[in-house]
Homo-oligomer: A and B are copies of this chain.
Amino acid sequence: MSEQVVLAVDLGGSSMKGALVTEHGETLVTETRLTPEIDIVEALIELLHSLEATASVRGLQVIAAGVVTPGIVDEQAGVVRYASNLGWKDLPLLHLLRARLDMPVAIGHDVRAAGLAEQLLGAARGADDFVLIPIGTGVAAALVSAGGTLTGATGAAGEFGHIPVVPGGELCTCGQRGCLEVYVSGAGLARRYQARGGEALSSKQIVARLGADPHADVVWAEAVQVLAQGLAILTLLLDPRVIVIGGGFAHAGEALFGPLRDALTAGLAWREAPRVVQALLGSEAGRIGASILAFRAAGRGDVVDGWTVAEAVAV
| Inter-subunit contact A269/B152 (CB<8 Å) | no
CB of A45, distance to nearest CB on chain B (Å): 29
| Inter-subunit contact A225/B156 (CB<8 Å) | no
A148 lies within 8 A of chain B by Cβ: yes
A232 lies within 8 A of chain B by Cβ: yes
Q: For residue A241, which residues in chain B have a CB less than 8 angstroms away from its CB?
A: 153
| Inter-subunit contact B237/A163 (CB<8 Å) | yes
Partner of A152, one of B129, B166, B167: B129
User: A267-287 interface mask toward B, CB cutoff 8 Å, 1 = contact, 0 = none?
Assistant: 111110010000000000000
User: A137-167 interface mask toward B, CB cutoff 8 Å, 1 = contact, 0 = none?
Assistant: 0000101011010111111111110111111
A176 lies within 8 A of chain B by Cβ: yes
CA distance A137 to B274 in the complex (A): 28
CA distance A244 to B105 in the complex (A): 38
A53 lies within 8 A of chain B by Cβ: no
**Assembly stoichiometry (copies):** 2
For A155, A160, A239, the residue with the greatest tally of chain B CB atoms inside 10 Å of its CB is A239
CA distance A162 to B160 in the complex (A): 18
- A237-B160 contact in complex given A129-B153, A148-B146, A167-B166, C-beta closer than 8 Å: yes
| Inter-subunit contact A159/B269 (CB<8 Å) | no
A236 lies within 8 A of chain B by Cβ: yes
| Inter-subunit contact A229/B167 (CB<8 Å) | yes
Q: For residue A153, which residues in chain B have a CB less than 8 angstroms away from its CB?
A: 127-129, 239-241, 274
A57 lies within 8 A of chain B by Cβ: no
| Inter-subunit contact B148/A236 (CB<8 Å) | no
CB of A260, distance to nearest CB on chain B (Å): 15
Q: For residue A77, which residues in chain B have a CB less than 8 angstroms away from its CB?
A: none
CB of A137, distance to nearest CB on chain B (Å): 17
| Inter-subunit contact A176/B269 (CB<8 Å) | yes
CA distance A182 to B265 in the complex (A): 20
A238 lies within 8 A of chain B by Cβ: yes
CA distance A119 to B156 in the complex (A): 21
Q: Which residue of B lies closest to A226 (CB)?
A: B167
| Inter-subunit contact B129/A270 (CB<8 Å) | no
| Inter-subunit contact A239/B152 (CB<8 Å) | yes
What are 15 A-B interface contacts by the 8 Å CB criterion? Answer: A129-B153, A145-B150, A150-B238, A150-B239, A153-B240, A153-B274, A155-B239, A160-B236, A164-B229, A164-B232, A166-B167, A167-B225, A176-B267, A176-B268, A233-B233
A residues contacting B by CB (< 8 A) are 127-129, 141, 143, 145-146, 148, 150-160, 162-167, 174-176, 225-226, 229, 232-234, 236-241, 267-271, 274
Q: Which 8 A-B pairs have the closest CB atoms?
A: A152-B239, A175-B269, A129-B153, A153-B241, A159-B236, A157-B239, A156-B239, A176-B269
